[in-house]
Each structure stands twice: as structure tokens, then as C-alpha cells.
Structure 1
């Protein structure tokens, strides 16, 4: 659950379509418009947080929410953070009716025509995650115009991995971590992979050609790996994305993440985090460099955010590490 303190520090501006998520809408379309019309209260948003194109997040409080018919505009995963309430919703199939509590999740794929959505008999704080239409290149329409993502319209399920990813993204709304945007990209990719593995309407190989097998042919070759590592070293102070790293390797994001881990034994986000921490340790060894300067040199917006991320990774604050080493 996001505290009131943190929520008040995040601009509560609803997520809008930028074109980067590939929902097919015009730029400026409100992604959570159905919730706004139904009376939902926006507590936090990733808008203007510089998260890039991988994922957009909102935290909303729903009390006595009643949404009339709408067509879902983007792939959305919703995770209950706190509270308890009853949910009733229906699309083409039978009504879905369940009690939502912390950890309960729902999926509403792009293109689904929802007849109604009601949240009542309680109050819920929910994390709403908007994912790219093609789930990072793993879903493609046959004719380029289909809005069907192949995901299930389902709700009220408990998936520990989905819950863990959601909580990590909610935490990112509150504070910077040691690897910046690449953390969000990795979390979004993991969530998309989970959707593809367990929440498609049919088996992946029966999705009429719309599913692209995510298996990488193997580890990154030496030349590609060197290019990626050089890019990382040259941009330790920048807020790089997983998409940029995949571009350097000339692979899709999904294939790159798998191939990089096969080549190095670490996920890209962990490898980049380790490089940043190593750079920070080296800079802290020089007493003439302030902690604030170390923070800026390793891509953090402030000494406070750097200290928080450094301690989480190393177990010591930058000042404590400097005094002991």
C-alpha cells in the first residue's frame, strides 16, 4: 500500500495514451477513463515520471464504483494492494463475481467489450498496470489491424509472481532504485511473460500464428555482448532502458533478455545495477568527491535517492561504506 505521504508527492495525473504503448488510440486518450467516469480516486500515477514506453502505472481507490459498458483500450493488469470489496464484471462470457483482497488480480485485455464493472461493499486500493499491445513483440495480429491480444479476461485470481511484480512496481512509484528505468522495463517484461505463459485463452502454439515463440536461439555472441557491455559502461550515469540495450544487440527485448542472461549468468537489470554500484564504490574511495557528486555520476537525481538504493544493494549507507573502506 502506498502511504499518504508518498501518494501526495506523486502527481496524481491519470495515465494517457502516448502511442508508445501501442494501444492504437490517439495521443492524449485517457487510459483509465472508465474509472474516472465511475468515480474512482487517483492516488498515484507514473505519468511524468520518465518511465518510457514499457509500462504505465496508476494506484486508484475504488469505493462504490459503477462503470457502464466500454471497450477496453489497452492490455491492463490490476492488482489489489489493500482493502476489501466485492467485484462484479462481465464481458461476453458469464458474470465474474468475487471478493477482492490484497494480492487478488484481474486481467482486462485490449479489445474486450465489457458490459459492466461494479466494485461495492468496501474500499480497495488497486494498482493498474497498462502494458504494450504486442507484449514486447510476442503477440502480433495476423493482418496488422486486429485488436485481439489473445489474453484471458479473468479476475479474482491469486498469482504470487504477479503479486510480487505488482508490489515491486508500486515500490518504484515511491523511490528510485539503483538501476532506474531498466528496473521498470524488466518488471514489465516479466509480467508480460507471465501473461503469455499462463493467461492466454489457448495454448501458445494454437494462437493462430499470433504468438511468437520467446525462446532465444542461444546466448549473445561475443561481438553483440561486447557492444552491450560497452554501452552499459559508457552510460552508467544515464537512465537507460531495456529497449535501448536490446537495440544495441539488434534483438527484440524479449529475446535479448534471455540471451543476455545465458551469456552472463545475470539478468540485464542486475548486471547494470552491479556496474553502477561498483562505480559508486570506486568513487566513494576518493574523499574529495561528495556523496551528491557520486549520486549524479551514477545516474541518481539526488543524494537521498542514491543513499537509499546504495544501502539496499550493499547493506551500508554511502557514508558508512566510505568510513569502512
Structure 2
């Protein structure tokens, strides 16, 4: 992670609220300002990748970080990528003290009054994920005040799914070109769903009506499914967002993603990728189109991303498939 970050991002730009991320902050506010003030080093940022997704990510190196009291302004999930160091932090409860190694995670919810945060006795490269204050419409957020979000303030835990999602997002930060909005949105939604399922205080008043409906609803009905599938077919070459698909179905993002998978057996991004790959198989029979041409025709940001998705789905590279057919 370190060498790639240094070679690709000479001067990373810190993540800021754009006015559309929904973190609850005013546009221009630096989301990781406490780390800047505390002395951490920014290695990579989704700002430099041009992500248009609802997830915002940074990779920072912490070697001797000392943050005094602050009120957390954004829902944040932190995952250690490499190295090791001791972490001491405290909010209202007892001090949380642990040795952080690759895979360990922390949650710092919006609205928590943190008394101190110290990272010392080592070096850690950590992925910092900044999420919307309502976790994609699943938490009640009546205004922009830094009120208690309902998430747990916890650290030093190991959750295989959280680690897997974090590594996938970190991989996208390193990739030459991002995989696309629907993939990044899906990773962010999966992370938010994990937070809601296992890392909230389960206060019913904190959950939105759309979240409760999404948990209890069944599969997407045929009419909505047909509308969504038609939208997918018509936009195979576009960089669509998960929110756009949910809007077509007239549902919240969380509700839609659950209902779509129940109806089709696949997550929306996987189904959309499979449609693109099926179209690519047809285009690969045209000798006048290069692999790069096909990649752009079906909405991939590069031939590399297309080849990666195609091989994952089909088992061979686009060139190998073309030669065999």
C-alpha cells in the first residue's frame, strides 16, 4: 500500500464535504482535520481519484498522533491496513486501549465528544472512511447538529466483513482507474448495513422508517423490477449510481438493494456487471473493435478495469475469449 500511494499521489488532497456527501457539515469542511492538526501524514485520498460516490476515503499514516478534545463531526470507520501501533482513546465511557494491527477497526460516530486520541509506539497506515450522517437514509437525522447518531463508539475489533470491504475500497484507491460509482456505492452501503446490524445501540427511535421497511419487506415486485432492468439495459455505457436505480424503483437505497437481491439472487452492481459482460461477449466478435473500445462502449473507465471484471466473471481475459470464439 505504501509504495503505491507514494508513487501515484505526490500531493494528496484531504477529503472535504462537497455539499453533496451528506456528512452534516458545511461545504469545504475538512473531514479529517483532527488528523492534520495531530500530525498524521496523508498518503492517498478519494478526492484525487475523482470519485463521485457517496463514500469518501483517505489513507493516512499515523506514527505519533496526539489529538486533544474534539466533537466528532462525521460518521467514520477506520481500518488498519499495515503496520502496528498502540491506540488510546476515550469518550464518555472508559478508556479504550489496544494494539492495532492490520484488519483491526474502529468506529467514531458523528456527535461523540472525544476527550483524547493517541496513536504511538509504532507506525500505522489506516483507511479512513467518512459516511453520510444518515447512513444512506437509514438513521433519523432531523437537522445538521452533531447529535448522537446511535452508532457505537468502539475500537480495536476484528470483523471479517468490515475488513473485506475496507480492503476492497483501499484497492480501488490504488487502482489506475476506479471501478465505477455503482461498485463504490455498493461497498459503502454494505459497510453501512454492517454498522446498522452490529454496531448500533439498537434504539428504535434512531432508525428511519425506510430502514425498518427495508428490513421487513420482501422481494422487488415485477413492475419495479422490470423498470430497473430496463434502466440498466438502456444505460450499460453509463457510470450509474446505486441511488439512481433505487430512484427508478421509488425506494430508499437500502430497501432497494435488499429487495433487488431477493428478486434476482444478485446484488444490483453484480447484476449490472453481468449485463455488461454479456454485452461485451457480443462485441468481442467484432474484429473492428479493440478491447479498449469495448471497455468504453459498455461503461468501464479503462481497459484494465474491464479486463479485470471480465476475467472474474468468465474465467478468461477478453483477448483469450475473443481468440477462442
Give the distance between the partners of 2:19 and 2:252, measured in 1 at CA. 19
Q: Does 1:41 align with 2:41?
A: yes
Q: Is the 8 A contact 2:24 2:144 kept in 1?
A: no
What secondary structure is seen at the aligned counterpart in 1 of 2:121? strand
Give the distance between the partners of 1:261 and 1:132, measured in 2 at CA. 23
Give the distance between the partners of 2:142 and 2:207, measured in 1 at CA. 7
What are the ranges of 5 or more consecutive residues in structure 1 without an aligned counterpart? Answer: none
**1:48-67 deviation line (CA, Å, top 9, x unaligned):** 43433421011111001111
Structure-1-length-normalised TM-score: 0.93
1:118-157 aligned at under 5 Å gives the runs 118-141=118-141, 145=145, 147-157=147-157
Q: Report what 1:299 is aligned to.
A: 299
User: Alignment RMSD, CA only?
Assistant: 2.0
Q: Report what 2:117 is aligned to.
A: 117
1:85-96 aligned at under 5 Å gives the runs 85-96=85-96
Give the distance between the partners of 1:276 and 1:208, measured in 2 at CA. 38
Give the distance between the partners of 2:176 and 2:85, measured in 1 at CA. 31
What secondary structure is seen at the aligned counterpart in 1 of 2:64? strand
Q: Report what 2:82 is aligned to.
A: 82
What are the ranges of 5 or more consecutive residues in structure 2 without an aligned counterpart? Answer: none
Shift of 1:315: 2.3
Q: Report what 1:196 is aligned to.
A: 196
Q: Does 1:286 align with 2:289?
A: no
Shift of 1:106: 0.3
Q: Report what 1:171 is aligned to.
A: 171
Shift of 1:69: 1.3
Q: Report what 2:22 is aligned to.
A: 22
**1:158-209 deviation line (CA, Å, top 9, x unaligned):** 11111111111111112278962111111111111111111112x243x466
Shift of 1:314: 2.2
Q: Is the 8 A contact 1:74 1:109 kept in 2?
A: yes
1:50-89 aligned at under 5 Å gives the runs 50-89=50-89
Give the distance between the partners of 1:64 and 1:145, measured in 2 at CA. 31
C-alpha distance 238-55 of structure 1, shift in aligned 2 (>3 A): same
C-alpha distance 31-220 of structure 1, shift in aligned 2 (>3 A): same
Q: Report what 2:160 is aligned to.
A: 160
Deviation larger for 259-268 or 6-15: 6-15
Q: Is the 8 A contact 2:23 2:132 kept in 1?
A: yes
Q: Is the 8 A contact 1:179 1:276 kept in 2?
A: no
Structure-2-length-normalised TM-score: 0.93
